[in-house]
Every structure is written in C-alpha cells, then in structure tokens.
Structure 1
Amino acid sequence: MSSTEPAFVPPANVLPKVAPVRVAEGERLRSVQLPGITLTVRSRPPAREGLPPALYVHGLGGSSQNWSAMMPLLDDIVDNEALDLPGFGDSPPPDDGDYSVTGHARAVIRYLDASGRGPVHLVGNSLGGAITTRVAAVRPDLVRTLTLVSPALPELRVQRSAVPTGLLALPGVAALFTRYTRGWTAEQRVRGVMALCYGDPTRVSPEGFRNAVEEMERRLRLPYFWDAMARSARGIVNAYTLGGQHALWRQAERVLAPTLLVYGGRDQLIGFRMAQKAARTFRDSRLVTLPDAGHVAMMEYPETVAGAFRDLLADQAARGAAGTVSAGS
C-alpha cells in the first residue's frame, strides 16, 4: 500500500457521531482550509499584542492537546498555536492520503505560508520532531528557533520497547491489532499508552487520565483512526531509510536555527543515547536531559521544558542585542 494512495474516508452521511474535542480553559479551536488539507489549530490569546509566534507539532497518535499543559506557561513571551496534523486530533485525513514525514512537513509549511505567521519558534515532539526538523532544513525562512522533544530521528539500534510501534507500519498489522484488541476498554488502552510514553505514569492526575480516556473513546469512533496511525508509522520507517540530502540526520546538519534538544532518561521510544548525537549534529544546539522523563516531557514536566524554552529565547534575544550593538559601534 502506497503512502500516497487515497485514504479511506466514509461519506459524510455515514460518519458516526463523534464527541467534540476537549478545549482547555483559555484555548480556542479553529479550522483552516488549505489546498488538499483541512487543519484544526489550537491557540491561546497572548498576554499582549506583538509577541513572536510559536507553533507546536505533536507526535504519532497525539494531537494539539499534547501542548495544553505547556502553552499557558509561555503566554507572556510567545503567541501560541498548536496544530492537529492531518488525520489526527480534529483534523480530517489529507485528500491525497500522504502521511509521510514529507507530507506532514508540507502541511506545516502550507499553514505557515498561508497564515503569514513565519518565522515562528517551531516546536516538535517525536514524529513532530522529525517533521519540524525537515521544515527547518528546507524552509529556514519560516523558523526562528527549533525545539525538539524526543525527536524521532533514525537510530541504528532501536529500543525493544519501540518495536511494536514500528511493526504498526507493516501492511495488515493495524487491522490485525484492531481485531486483537477489540475487547480492550479505552481505560486499558490509555494505561498502556501512558506506561509507554511517561517516565512515571503516576504523575498523571485523575482529571488528566479521565480526559485522556474521553479523547481515546472519541478517536476510536473515527473511521480513519487506525489508517492514519499505520500510514504515519510507515512514514517514519520510510524516512529512516532515505539517504542523500533527504536523510533526516543530513537535514539536521542543515538546520540554521538555534535548536533546543530535550531528551528523557526513561524514554522507551527514542533512545537516550541519541541525545549526544543530536547535540553534535545540530550546528547551534543546546541539550537538556531529564533523567526521570519519558517520551512526552512537555506533558510530564511542562514547567521544566517551558523554562528551557524561555532560556533559548532569552539567549537568542541577547545575541540579537549584542549584534545590534556591534553593528552600531
């Protein structure tokens, strides 16, 4: 099955009724129609006008809600927006069924070009980290800084705990897994995801767990849920095999924007050993390691990740001021 063949989407008159997406206090959702895609954008009003824009991109199986804990901590320094990638969250599948890393990167670029918000402080987690790395490499004009939380960049030795996610990319596996797990409750599924993605799942509040279960129930009613998951997983695997100028590590070398790298010591999906390789590859990078964090540090330790992001922006501002003084002296 090609990653670019049209995705199966039932006609609108046979789509099941699906509960609305949760919106946290202070957040707003809007739908943006672009050529070939419709994106849902989650935003928060900035503390004041004129703040630089930031755009957040989630990982495989995630949504813009993954950034709801961190965005309020940054309202005073950036104008926050987070995307639901095509086929995830509240965004419908892309018209062309392209869930490749390049296809997702193209969606981000289309949005930034259409909105006129670039250059932005671009932030990505996991698959979103691979996507935003590609965006920063091919369209440096759209990126002020790049922040990567456990980015899904190629590894020679994949962790054993990450193998099931990779297997999802194989044709037929998603359908097999769907049949095998038909009897699983949403609560069971959420506990499994949290055990895989969090360094310490007990950090999730009861309310946070209930919200995650509600979102899981909503997603499982979407007829394209597993198709989007499987094709996006396949997109990651395919991106790992690309060579030449399209190789993700080669593109990481080309990124010009100041880059913040955040890695969790208990990440079961992205090897902690990749932190040093990333720090060597991105030319203007700073590395923050969180020994107790898992794969979604921005959800598990939002204050720490937000603090590191603030430091990145403060350093960039200081560089700009120093450059202005130097040019005027």
Structure 2
Amino acid sequence: MTPDVSRPDRTLHSTLVGDHGPVVVFLHGLFGRGRNFGATVRAMQPHLRALLVDLPNHGASPWTDPVDYGQMAHAVAEHLRAGVAAEGPVHLVGHSMGGKTAMALALAEPDLVDHLVVVDVSPAGSGGGEEFEHLLGALSRIDLATLASLGDADRQLSREVPQPSLRGFLLQNLRRDGSGRLAWQANLDVLRRDLAVVTGDVPHADGARFDGPVLWVAGSESDYITDEDEPLMRRLFPRTRRVTVKDANHWVHSRQPQVFADVVLRFLDAP
C-alpha cells in the first residue's frame, strides 16, 4: 500500500526516551529514522530526554511530494510546538539531511531552538550525490515481488552494495505491509527524483541568521564539510564552534557513539 501523500501535515512519528532533564530532538539523515541515534541516546542517559523523530518520507512518518527542506522544517516545528516545545525551546541535533532540516528550522523559527548541533553537513550544497544516486538505484532494483524474507533482499542488494553493515542500514527501510508483503517505508522514488534538493543548499530568507550557540561536528574520515563552507556557516550561525571527531566517517554518531555523546553533552553543559 502506498502511503497517502496528499496530507503532508499529518503528524510525524517520534519516540521520547527518558523522563527528566532538558529535551534534545534528533533528526536523522537520508535512508535513516529516529532510532538511528539509539546508541548515542543510551550513552547520554540519564541526563536528558531525547525525542527521536522520523522525518517526512522516512520511517513511520508520512510521505510528501516534492521533497522540500522548508516543508520538512515546518513539519518538525509543528510537531515540536504540539509536544515537547510547548513550554519553551529545545536543543536540536541533526545529521546530514536532518542537519539541513535543523538549520532551516533554526533560521526560520529561532524561538523553537536553544542549542543547535549540526552533524557532518554544511548549509551549502553537500557531497554524496553520486553515492546516494547509486544506493537509491540499487534499492529500486530489488524485485520486491520475489522477496520471501529480508535475507532475499540482502542477497539481491549484495550485488551492488558489498558492505554488510551498509546493506543492513539500508534494508531497515523494508517492512511488511498489511498484506504481509515486504514494502519500502522510505519514499524512494521521490527521494531519488529530488536528490538534488536533498544534497542542495539550506533554504533561508535574505538576512536570516540564528544567534543561538551552534556546534558543528565533522568526521575526520569525511569530506562533507570543507574549509570553504565555514564563511557561510558563520554568516548564518555566528556563534558556531567546529569540532572534528577522530576515526569517524559521515555517520559520526554511529561510528563513535560515546565520543559523540560526550561532545554533545559538554556543548549542552549537561552533567
């Protein structure tokens, strides 16, 4: 069954972890879902409450057409206003596509955001387009009609994606629908068509800036953030600090969950 794309304002799916402390909202990257930050959140307990959000076109959240950062930021903002941000601003952590959504939200609605953490992405057009095009194409070529199990999908995908850990990450997007057949939860067709938007610039109004504290976290083995990106980052986010995590690739929080958790907790001045 294809999810209804006619109601992009339908409630996003999220999970709240923890019962006390400041609220930190986590926004995942392309192909992900909120629970991708699970190891980081466990490392941060019991110091905070974590809201793990499935962004539009991912996980259990609704699909939209087209993909649009302004629309995604608005959807997250409305979700927060109706919930954890009803009584005041929250801390916001976003990785890759989620980082661009977080930046767009902070620029458009700064009253919702206390501290902002941007993980391995810049406000300028990012790299990874060819890699993501390859991965989206590989997923689209899996013959869902022939699948009896996730193992079948893994075997088909291994022809184009040899890394087992990456295949496992991608195949988390397969779930059984109401009829018991395996189907994609992520909106692969639209994400592939609008990939230039996903990897493009963060939208912002002329003169927009977020004056709250910002931590910009890069992986030492990643080239998604360059020195050339820094002037734009500091123009939009003047109170920016840049940190590089050693032995981490683009998925900093997955490669180094404890180090990443420690870095973020120090930035938030948590215990």
Q: Normalising TM by the smaller chain, what interval?
A: 0.7 to 0.9
* Equivalent position amino acid for 2:82 in 1: A
Secondary structure in 2 matching 1:37: coil
* Equivalent position amino acid for 2:201 in 1: Y
Structure 1 residue runs without a partner (length 5+):
1-7, 12-33, 196-200, 318-329
Checking the alignment, whether the CA contact within 8 Å between 1:57 and 1:124 is kept in structure 2 is yes
Checking the alignment, whether the CA contact within 8 Å between 2:39 and 2:254 is kept in structure 1 is yes
Cα offsets for 1:232-281 (capped at 9, x unmatched) = 524325x5296xx547xx65xx111111111012226x244456446644
**In 2: Cα distance, 1:150 partner to 1:62 partner:** 15
Checking the alignment, whether the CA contact within 8 Å between 1:61 and 1:229 is kept in structure 2 is no
Which residues in structure 2 correspond to 1:55-74 (within 5 Å)?
A: 55-74=25-44
For 1:105, the equivalent position in structure 2 comes to 73
For 1:294, the equivalent position in structure 2 comes to 249
Distance 1:223 1:63, change over 3 A: closer
2:2 equivalent among 3, 9, 15: 9
Structure 2 residue runs without a partner (length 5+):
145-151, 177-181
Distance 1:216 1:223, change over 3 A: closer
Distance 1:185 1:211, change over 3 A: closer
* Equivalent position amino acid for 2:198 in 1: I
For 1:153, the equivalent position in structure 2 comes to 123
> Structure 1 residue 308 and structure 2 residue 270: aligned?
no
Distance 1:103 1:162, change over 3 A: same
Which residues in structure 2 correspond to 1:35-184 (within 5 Å)?
A: 36-46=9-19, 49=20, 51-94=21-64, 97-117=65-85, 118-155=88-125, 159=127, 162-165=129-132, 167=133, 180=141, 182=143
For 2:149, the equivalent position in structure 1 comes to none
Larger Rg: 1
Secondary structure in 2 matching 1:218: strand
**In 1: Cα distance, 2:159 partner to 2:41 partner:** 24
RMSD of equivalent CA atoms: 3.7
Deviating runs (4+, > 2 A) in structure 1? 8-11, 161-165, 176-195, 209-214, 216-220, 222-225, 227-237, 239-242, 271-282
* Equivalent position amino acid for 1:89 in 2: G
**In 2: Cα distance, 1:194 partner to 1:148 partner:** 29
Secondary structure in 2 matching 1:61: coil
Which structure shows the higher helix fraction? 1
> Structure 1 residue 236 and structure 2 residue 198: aligned?
yes
Identity of aligned residues (%): 26
Distance 1:303 1:178, change over 3 A: closer
**In 1: Cα distance, 2:158 partner to 2:253 partner:** 18
Secondary structure in 2 matching 1:115: coil
TM-score normalised over the length of structure 2: 0.77
2:188 equivalent among 192, 209, 226: 226
Secondary structure in 1 matching 2:262: helix
> Structure 1 residue 261 and structure 2 residue 223: aligned?
no
Checking the alignment, whether the CA contact within 8 Å between 1:38 and 1:91 is kept in structure 2 is yes
Checking the alignment, whether the CA contact within 8 Å between 1:137 and 1:256 is kept in structure 2 is no
* Distance apart, 1:298 and its partner CA: 0.8
Q: Which is worse superposed, 68-77 or 132-141?
A: 68-77
**In 1: Cα distance, 2:138 partner to 2:190 partner:** 14
Checking the alignment, whether the CA contact within 8 Å between 1:101 and 1:232 is kept in structure 2 is no
Cα offsets for 1:37-64 (capped at 9, x unmatched) = 2311122123xx3x11111111111111
